[in-house]
Amino acid sequence: MGKTILVVDDSETIRKLVSVSVRVLTGCTTVEAQDGLQAIEQLNQQAVDLVITDLRMPRLTGLELISYMKNDPKHQQTPIILLTTEAAEEDRRKGLALGANEYLMKPFQPKQLQATLLKYLGAA
């Protein structure tokens, strides 16, 4: 597919699981960050086609990362998927209001993740 996806999660296990799933399901390349600050560093080093981020992380949360991206002209068009264990409707509303394109729950279903990624990356 030739696309790059940034996976942001403070759990290394989850980051690796999501990264492997993305590569297997879409053939995309992945880069990883352990929190929002590291994600911003990655975004400033290389272009990415989509970001998958957790909500609750140390140093800079997923919501703060979304705010940063949506206020930066270089990144405001990049699709963002929140992938989190947070089931509260308020968290979902906040994430989507800030500019996240999708809100998926962990544990994720591979087919649902694949369909969501292809929706934003295109099937080709």
Q: What is the pLDDT along the chain (124 residues), one digit of tens a residue?
A: 589 999 999 999 999 999 999 999 999 999 999 999 999 999 999 999 999 999 999 999 999 999 999 999 999 999 999 998 877 889 889 999 999 999 999 998 988 999 999 999 985 4
Two tokens, residue 71: 């206020």
Please give the CATH architecture assigned to the domain spanning 4-121. 3-Layer(aba) Sandwich (3.40)
Q: Are 26 and 91 in contact (CB under 8 A)?
A: no
Distance CA 33, CA 105 (A): 19
Q: Are 36 and 59 in contact (CB under 8 A)?
A: yes
For residue 1, what pLDDT is reported?
A: 59
For residue 122, what pLDDT is reported?
A: 80
Residues with Cβ within 8 Å of residue 61, at least 6 apart in sequence = 36, 55
- Three-state DSSP string of 4-66: EEEEECCCHHHHHHHHHHHHHHHCCEEEEECCHHHHHHHHHHCCCCEEEECCCCCCCCHHHHH
